[in-house]
């Protein structure tokens, strides 16, 4: 058995997930691990040089829905699709995410108990896939938000039982619908779906089993309840009520103090025509996100990918760009979509950072996203667990790439 190849990724710039890193913009990879960062490539390494580009950790989308395809009735159709059909759709969405540089994602809502089996099939399959964490069916109330996915419960005892069922199926995180949601007509988006006793029981059961809980919550009352009942994360966090938004600064400060991760589910591809009503909402909500940031809330990037046509599964860089537009520095924004997102998924020390011993999940973007954040979306190369899964032909136009290549032979120039 021969030792794994040593590959040196070389560019003009590097961002480790925390900082520009030591020394040169070089990431050395052997097998599925990063073995060195910042050191000159050893003679034995195969060098891939990108020139005017930046090496980043693979992106992490903390809020994805692999089973959703952006269509308005997608959620309802899942109820009548077979497990095989849904699993196929989820695998295809995972491939789209990976091609866009999302090397890790957390699926926060898939039908029935499909999440864990799809995760495991992707992890062991022959086709490269992102690292996937799953919530399975979100826990909700009968007729409540996303009830058609199979997670409806009545009362504290059933909430505990559902947590135990999901845990037995092997989920990584519990998702609870603390309020209604726009995608489920008839669910109430202006008030909590559970009582305090029910939500406390759910969180207690999950934590007892070692599972974190993240809560979908739109209105202040549901956000406040989620915080009081001890959740680890809040999704959306709109502060919406009566058709407007009412951010509560005291509540925002409590979220910050407790270190609760908030994923405001930003991120839209720029060519999607945003419906006027949604644009109006976003214009106000973006001010809320700026307040969350300014008051020290731990913000993480997650798209709610699959929920809308403007949120394809590779849209994560646009959530990062949005964070920078709303007040974060480019470095903080990229960290929110890499290091901090990985920490939120319980993967600290393994992914989200370019450092020795971490997974060899590397994204290369053209240009300099630390100077021009829009460059974060110019993905040209993706490595996942040491395997090159995307390598755009544009790199072949870089004269330094050919000159630096070790091992001889003409570089293959593909069409994209
Ligand atoms: Zn969602």
Report pLDDT digits (tens) over 218-255.
999 999 999 999 999 999 999 999 879 999 999 999 99
Give how many domains the chain has, as a whole number.
Answer: 2
Same domain, 14 and 116: no
Distance CA 172, CA 372 (A): 35
- What CATH number is associated with residue 21? 2.30.40.10
Give residue 51 CA to ligand 1 midpoint distance, Å.
Answer: 38
Give residue 304 CA to ligand 1 midpoint distance, Å.
Answer: 5
Answer whether residue 291 is part of any domain.
Answer: yes
Answer whether residue 338 is part of any domain.
Answer: yes
Same domain, 161 and 102: yes
Q: What's the confidence (pLDDT) of residue 400?
A: 58
Give residue 146 CA to ligand 1 midpoint distance, Å.
Answer: 9
Give residue 95 CA to ligand 1 midpoint distance, Å.
Answer: 19
Distance CA 404, CA 251 (A): 54
Give residue 147 CA to ligand 1 midpoint distance, Å.
Answer: 13
Answer whether residue 133 is part of any domain.
Answer: yes
Q: What's the confidence (pLDDT) of residue 243?
A: 76
CB distance 373 to 325 below 8 Å: yes
Read off φ and ψ for residue 319, nearest 5 degrees. Answer: -70, -40
Measuring CA to CA, how many Å separate 32 from each of 57, 215, 318, 363? 14, 33, 27, 14
Give residue 84 CA to ligand 1 midpoint distance, Å.
Answer: 22
Give the range of the structural domain holding residue 369, as residue numbers without chain letter. 6-57+354-397
Give residue 183 CA to ligand 1 midpoint distance, Å.
Answer: 9
The model's confidence at residue 47, banded by pLDDT at 50, 70 and 90, is very high
Answer whether residue 380 is part of any domain.
Answer: yes
Q: What's the confidence (pLDDT) of residue 105?
A: 98
Mean of pLDDT values over 187-215: 96
Over the stretch 334-373, which tens digit does the pLDDT of each residue have?
999 999 999 999 999 999 999 999 999 999 999 999 999 9
Residue-wise burial string across 329-366, b where 16 or more C-beta atoms lie within 10 A, e elsewhere: ebbebbbbbbbbbbbbbebeeebbbbbeebbbbbbbbb
Give residue 68 CA to ligand 1 midpoint distance, Å.
Answer: 10
pTM: 0.94
Give residue 246 CA to ligand 1 midpoint distance, Å.
Answer: 21
Same domain, 177 and 218: yes
Same domain, 246 and 313: yes
- What CATH number is associated with residue 258? 3.20.20.140
């Amino acid at each position: 058995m021969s030792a794994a190849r040593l590959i040196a990724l070389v560019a003009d710039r590097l961002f480790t997930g925390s900082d520009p890193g030591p020394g040169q913009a070089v990431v050395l990879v052997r097998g599925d691990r990063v073995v060195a960062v910042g050191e000159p490539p050893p003679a034995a390494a195969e060098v891939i040089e990108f020139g005017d580009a930046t090496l980043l950790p693979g992106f992490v989308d903390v809020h994805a829905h692999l089973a959703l395809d952006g269509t308005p009735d997608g959620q309802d159709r899942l109820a009548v699709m077979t497990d095989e059909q849904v699993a196929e759709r989820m695998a295809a969405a995972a491939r789209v995410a990976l091609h866009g540089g999302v090397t890790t994602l957390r699926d926060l809502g898939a039908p029935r108990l499909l999440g864990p089996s799809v995760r495991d099939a992707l992890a062991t399959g022959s086709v490269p896939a992102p690292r996937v964490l799953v919530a399975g069916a979100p826990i909700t109330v009968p007729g409540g938000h996303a009830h058609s996915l199979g997670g409806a419960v009545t009362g504290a005892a059933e909430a505990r039982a559902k947590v135990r069922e999901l845990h037995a199926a092997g989920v990584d995180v519990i998702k609870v619908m603390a309020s209604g949601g726009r995608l489920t007509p008839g669910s109430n988006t202006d008030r909590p779906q559970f009582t305090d006793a029910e939500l406390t029981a759910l969180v207690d059961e999950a934590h007892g089993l070692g599972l974190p809980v993240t809560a979908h919550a739109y209105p202040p009352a549901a956000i406040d309840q989620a915080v009081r009942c001890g959740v680890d994360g809040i999704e959306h966090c709109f502060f919406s009520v009566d058709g407007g938004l009412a951010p509560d600064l005291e509540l925002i400060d409590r979220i910050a103090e407790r270190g609760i991760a908030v994923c405001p589910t930003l991120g839209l591809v720029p060519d999607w025509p945003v419906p006027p009503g949604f644009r109006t909402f976003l214009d106000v909500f973006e001010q809320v996100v700026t307040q969350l940031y300014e008051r020290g809330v731990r913000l993480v990037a997650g798209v709610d990918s699959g929920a809308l046509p403007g949120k394809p599964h590779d849209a994560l860089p646009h959530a990062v760009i949005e964070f920078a537009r709303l007040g974060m520095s480019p470095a903080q924004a990229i960290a929110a979509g890499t290091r901090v997102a990985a920490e939120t998924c319980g993967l600290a020390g393994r992914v989200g950072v370019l450092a020795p011993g971490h997974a060899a999940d590397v994204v290369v973007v053209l240009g300099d996203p630390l100077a021009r954040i829009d460059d974060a979306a110019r993905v040209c190369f993706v490595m996942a667990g040491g395997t090159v899964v995307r390598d755009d032909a544009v790199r072949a136009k870089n004269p330094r790439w050919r000159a630096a290549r070790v091992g001889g032979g003409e570089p293959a120039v593909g069409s994209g």
